[in-house]
Amino acid sequence: MELGVSGTLLLAVLLSLVLYFFTWRRNLKKKNLPPGPPPLPLLGSLLDINTKEVHMSLMKLGETYGPVFTVYLSSTPAVVLIGYDCVKEALIDNGDVFSMRGHLEFTYLITKGYGVLITNGERWKQMRRFSLSTLRNFGMGKRSIEERIQEEARYITEEIEKIGGAPFDPTHLLTLFVSNIICFIVFGERFDYEDEKFMTILNLLKEMFLLMSSSLGMLINVFPKIISLLPGPHQKIFTNLKKLKYFVAESLENHKATLDPNCPRDLIDCFLVKMEEEKSNPITEFHFDNLFGTVLDLFFAGTETLSRTLQYGLIYLLKYPDVESKIHEEMDRVIGQNQCPSVEDRVQMPYTDAVIHEIQRFADIAPLGLPHKTGQDTTFRGYNIPKDTTVVTILASVLKDPKYFKNPKQFDPTNFLNDNGSFRKNESFTPFSLGKRSCVGESLARMELFLFFTTILQKFNLKSALAPEDIEITPEPNTNGVMPRTYEMYVTPR
């Protein structure tokens, strides 16, 4: 009798689940969302997506379902956009609808919804305006940002000279270069490359970035409440976060003691001035949480992404020595051996400029970009997309769009040169994304890339122990396309 009751209950549960499943699927079809792989209850589209190569999985799905399709993160729909035309139509032509930042659970766990990258509304407007004005218009005391980058590039050349002709992995030096520039902008000082505090900051940030790029990081975005409570290496994120917060708080107190409101030295000074101006505003956005969130945003966007671009750039030049030779020829003609490279030289160096653009395009270090979401109900390409729907723009599909780049899967600087050798813009070049949510540090990044490569190549010839045909330039497998392979190089003085 008991067995019969148990069997009846089990059958009832199974029938209920089947009924729920088909009702749920029927309701999805009624919404007229873009097509996509059939989702499963709770799991959504997880079985159709490789969490170690998410962008590749989504681009593969685009071959079946077209440039606009839907995947499900658990039970939550996300609309995926493929190719430049589709992404531009959303972020530029319909920017008012698609300019909201989508909720990214992993990043939210770190910033708690403060800063620039993942905020919306008035907070985002004020923090973005503040960050842009600081990066673009602030001369950093009596020294310009360009001068600071030039100086840091010279420090790196000195470090390389100390190595002599021995082979070395450039990853650490590249991180030091870009991190010290951000430290100068944020804290008003550069650190010695052996400084213990500096090394601690870099290690904390590196660990967090690697976890964010891992399969576990991707799963946290799908099942945040469950996985964040489980033990594992991802718990180190929160320990690291406390240490970073303490460092920023300590620096803030030091800045308060030496602040001259009429002559701010760095971003923290500028923030303190705004805090004082708005101290009587009960809903001000200028408080420590937003400062800490903004500092984290700048470090993540300005160190990890740029250092990896530089890492890719060097290995591309090792792979294609003819490209390096052409840069040397152009540099000798425009700058020579004794003059310090300047951003003004870029206009007269179209080939070098084209190579740097191609490095960014081909490296494609943020293939998924950051998620957007719709600010209102909308119809896009004949499909209904409700308000607050997550929208994923696959930047990899834009930077490698065959409609705009010939041989998009090959490294080719002529993508940015016309027939007479002049620099040619390409509208599908979007490593900093598009529209209102494009990267606030774009101008800074472009300056760093040009000054780094010209300073290094002015002094050195780049060499590899491997033959060019044996150098592997694809990303490290199973890292979601963001991690370059490790390699060694050496240099000879020019």
DSSP per residue over 82-107, as a string?
-SHHHHHIIIIITHHHH-EEPP-HHH
For the stretch 271-297, what's the b/e string if a residue is b when 16 or more beta carbons lie within 10 angstroms of its beta carbon? bbbbbeeeeeeeeebbeeebbbbbbbb
The CATH number assigned to the domain with range 98-360+407-418+439-493 reads 1.10.630.10
pLDDT at 17: 53
pLDDT at 300: 79
CA dihedral for 298, 299, 305, 311, sign (positive or negative): positive
Q: Do residues 350 and 423 lie in contact, with contact meaning Cβ atoms separated by under 8 Å?
A: yes
Give the model confidence (pLDDT) of 242-290 as tens digits.
888 888 899 999 999 999 998 888 899 999 999 999 999 999 999 999 9
Gap between the Cα atoms of 241 and 238, Å rounded: 5
pLDDT at 292: 92
CA dihedral for 478, 483, 489, 494, sign (positive or negative): positive
Token duo for residue 369: 């970009």
Strands 372-373 vs 390-393: parallel, antiparallel or unpaired: antiparallel
**Dihedral, CA of residue 298, residue 303, residue 304 and residue 306, to nearest 10:** 110
Give the model confidence (pLDDT) of 33-70 as tens digits.
999 999 887 778 888 888 788 889 999 999 999 999 99
Per-residue confidence at 479, pLDDT binned at 50, 70, 90? Answer: confident
Q: Is the pLDDT of residue 183 over 60?
A: yes
Q: Is the pLDDT of residue 227 over 90?
A: no
CA distances from 366 to 120, 369, 434, 480, 486 (A): 21, 5, 13, 9, 18
| DSSP assignments along 219-259, one per residue | HHHHSHHHHHHS-SGGGHHHHHHHHHHHHHHHHHHHHHHH-
Average pLDDT of the chain to the nearest whole number: 87
Q: Which of 457, 450, 456, 458 is nearest to 145 (CA)?
A: 450
pLDDT at 51: 77
pLDDT at 140: 42
Contacts of 114 (CB under 8 A, 6+ apart): 123, 289, 290, 292, 293, 294
Gap between the Cα atoms of 172 and 156, Å rounded: 11
For the stretch 72-103, what's the b/e string if a residue is b when 16 or more beta carbons lie within 10 angstroms of its beta carbon? bbeeebbbbbbbbebbbbbbeeebebbbbbbb
Give the model confidence (pLDDT) of 144-178 as tens digits.
788 899 999 999 999 999 998 899 999 999 999 99
The DSSP H or E segment spanning 72 is strand 68-73
Token duo for residue 279: 């101290």
**Cα Rg, the chain, nearest whole Å:** 25
pLDDT at 141: 42
Per-residue confidence at 74, pLDDT binned at 50, 70, 90? Answer: confident
Per-residue confidence at 226, pLDDT binned at 50, 70, 90? Answer: low
pLDDT at 384: 95
Q: Residue type for 427, please?
A: E
Strands 460-463 vs 490-493: parallel, antiparallel or unpaired: antiparallel
Gap between the Cα atoms of 300 and 179, Å rounded: 10
What average pLDDT score do residues 192-213 get?
Answer: 82
Q: Residue type for 283, please?
A: I
CA distances from 120 to 186, 371, 375, 436 (A): 23, 12, 10, 12
pLDDT at 127: 95
| DSSP assignments along 392-408, one per residue | EE-HHHHHT-TTTSSST
Per-residue confidence at 478, pLDDT binned at 50, 70, 90? Answer: confident
- Relative orientation angle of helices 121-137 and 442-459, to the nearest 10 degrees: 40
The domain limits of the chain are 98-360+407-418+439-493
Give the model confidence (pLDDT) of 424-443 as tens digits.
999 999 999 999 999 988 88
Gap between the Cα atoms of 160 and 18, Å rounded: 65
How deeply is 426 buried, as exposed, middle or buried, from its count of CB atoms within 10 A (0-12, 13-18, 19+)?
Answer: middle
Residue 423 pairs with which residues in a beta bridge? 417
Strand 390-393: give its sheet, edge to edge. Answer: 68-73, 76-81, 390-393, 372-373, 100-101
What average pLDDT score do residues 354-368 get?
Answer: 95
**CA 407 from centroid of its chain's CA atoms:** 24
Helix (H, G, I), strand (E, B) or coil at 317: helix
Higher-pLDDT residue of 205, 114 = 114
pLDDT at 73: 82
What average pLDDT score do residues 100-118 get?
Answer: 82
pLDDT at 142: 41
Please give the model's pTM, rounded to 2 decimal places: 0.88
Token duo for residue 69: 């399709």
Q: Residue type for 270, please?
A: C
Gap between the Cα atoms of 204 and 422, Å rounded: 43
